[in-house]
Amino acid sequence: MTDLYRFDFGVDEAEEGYTKITLNDRYSPSRTYGFVRADKISALNRGEGGTLRRDFIIPYEASFIVDVPDGIYTVTALLGDEHAATETTIKTGEGRLVVHKLRTGSGQYVRTSFSVWVTGGRLALVFGGLAPRLNALEISHTPQTCTIFLAGDSTVTEQPTDGYPYAGWGQMLPLFVKADAAVANYALSGRSSKSFIGEGHLDAIWSRIKPYDYLLVQFGHNDQKFDEARHTEPFTTYQETLMRYIHGARERNAFPVLLTPVHRRFYEDDGTLRDTHGDYATAVRELAGREGVPLVDLAAKSKELFERLGPEGTRSIFMQLAPGEFMNFPEGVNDNTHFQEHGAIQVAGLVKEGLQQLGLQPLMLYLR
């Protein structure tokens, strides 16, 4: 197993210790690294700028893939251009946002680092932005890096890239996390605290979590549903089920954190937000207080944000899409539960804020 990968992008000779990546280096299983979806990429050599900076690839809407064993990897990207201003966005896997509209001025270069939880044996970096540049990448295996595990529903999960701009807040949380920690998002659409366990997803977390990792738990939307597989009652079976997450984390010397469910977009006539979760949010607060579990009151935080923005302002938070606004939804969408990417970033920011306010050590040191 290789613990360190170094790639130099562009058209010039490779820097010592680096593998050169040119426009022609396309991914294949036998090659194990290279570009896919790369029909729009180009390369330039400025002839100046020093080591790793003279040449680069412009990876517009391209993915760079490296086959690696499952685990945690810290990625450092060198971005910049000797002659032009740049703006680069980087996502990993299914749209996890790790670098958002990072800008450099002409002649300015930035090294930005982030950690990635890799499953399926493939590290995929997806590049975008108005003027992306990619000079170099260093990818190192860092198995001891702290991991923030997420258990939750569709408001948290990673929505597929062909559903853009549909996104869960957990998909955007890596943007707010330094390279000292990785986010492992196990949340899944349609799950309740009960069905997440019944389908074996919590066992998957238990098989991978290590001491001093964190487990963030947000359910409630689907615990309200009345089918047998998902339904729980707030002050009995809901709390009892959440206790399995709490005890399981503590038994493994990891740290549980509870979150009240994020609000939906429904308003009363006076402009206040309608509480569609009722006792489920109250039950989480009560349980956290009784068991001494840190609590991010995302219900309270989202209520304040959504009431401040109002019915019109929250259209850009939720999947309130006009016909033709996004190519993946040509007929438009009228959804008051799920977020578009802009909104998921805002809600992930609320989660980050809540975690910082808890003052948990060392977690607060890992947050941007």
Q: Which residues are paired to 171 by β-bridges?
A: none
Q: Is 95 left (phi over 0), alpha (psi -120 to 50) or beta?
A: left
Asked if 56 and 37 count as a contact pair (C-beta separation under 8 A), the reply is no
* CA distances from residue 191 to 160, 200, 255 in whole angstroms, order as listed: 17, 11, 22
Q: How far apart are CA 274 and CA 265, in angstroms?
A: 8
Signed CA dihedral, 185, 153, 129, 331: sign only: positive
Across-strand partners of 103?
87
Token pair for 65: 């893939």
In the structure encoding, which two tokens stand for residue 182, read together?
A: 């990785």
What are the sequence ranges of the domains in the chain? 4-141, 146-366
Pure H helices in 214-340: 239-251, 279-291, 298-313
- Cα separation of 77 and 90, whole Å? 10
**Domain 4-141 fold:** Jelly Rolls (2.60.120)
How big, in percent rounded to 5, are the helix, strand and coil portions of the chain? 25, 35, 40
CA distance 281 to 303: 12
Which residues on neighbouring strands pair with residue 166, listed in sequence order?
340
Question: By three-state DSSP, how is residue 297 classified?
Answer: coil
What whole-number distance in Å separates Cα of residue 232 and Cα of residue 239? 9
Which of 330, 328, 347 has the alpha carbon at shortest distance from 338?
A: 347
pLDDT in tens, 3-38: 899 999 999 999 999 999 999 999 999 999 999 988
- Tell me if 175 sits within 8 A of 348, measured CB to CB: yes
pLDDT at 80: 97
DSSP element (H, E) containing 204: helix 201-206
Catalytic residues: 154, 331, 338
Amino acid 50: pLDDT:
84
Summarised one tens digit per residue, pLDDT across range 174-218 is 999 999 999 999 999 999 999 999 999 999 999 999 999 999 999
- Rounded distance, CA 249 to CA 214, Å? 8
User: Which CATH superfamily hosts domain 146-366?
Assistant: SGNH hydrolase (3.40.50.1110)
What pLDDT shows up at residue 51? 86
Peptide bond into 29 cis (omega under 30): no
CA distance readout (Å), 268 to 308, 310, 311, 326, 353: 14, 11, 10, 29, 27
At position 129, the amino acid (one-letter code) is: G
Could you say which residues of the chain have pLDDT below 70?
1
Q: To the nearest 10°, the Cα dihedral for 14, 18, 19, 22?
A: -50
257: β partners: 216
For residues 348-365, one letter each, b for 16 or more C-beta atoms within 10 angstroms of the residue's C-beta and e for the rest, the string is: bbbbbebbeeeebeebee
Which of 92, 90, 112, 108 is closest to 100 using CA atoms? 90
Measure the CA–CA gap between 342 and 13, rounded to whole angstroms.
40
- Paired strand residues for 76: 113, 138
CB 109 within 8 A of CB 53: yes
